[in-house]
Amino acid sequence: MNALREGKLNGAALDVYEQQPPFENKVSNKLIGDEKVIATPHSIGQTIEAVEEKGGGVIKIIRDFIERNNPN
């Protein structure tokens, strides 16, 4: 984070995070929100089953995050 803020890095691409889901970790959450950062899910496998399971997990994480941050 400091390297981005200080201009030592022009950008970063991440797919592995200290904590999963990364939204729960203060540092990871700041990195994900930075305009200089591309954040993607970690690729655990490329079988059809793994891709389907990973996709479902990503959707659940995003849905949970939105629901926590946009109470209606």
Which pLDDT tens digit goes with each residue over 34-62?
Answer: 899 998 877 656 778 887 888 888 899 99
pLDDT at 10 over 90: yes
The mean pLDDT value of the chain amounts to 84
What is the domain range of residue 40? 2-69
pLDDT of residue 45: 62
Q: Are the beta carbons of 11 and 37 closer than 8 angstroms?
A: yes
pLDDT of residue 8: 93
Stronger pLDDT, 54 or 10, i.e. the higher one: 10
**What letter does residue 39 receive in the DSSP assignment?**
E
pLDDT at 21 over 80: no
Number of domains the chain contains:
1
User: Which residue bears the tokens 């089953």?
Assistant: 49
Cis peptide before 41 (omega within 30 of 0): no
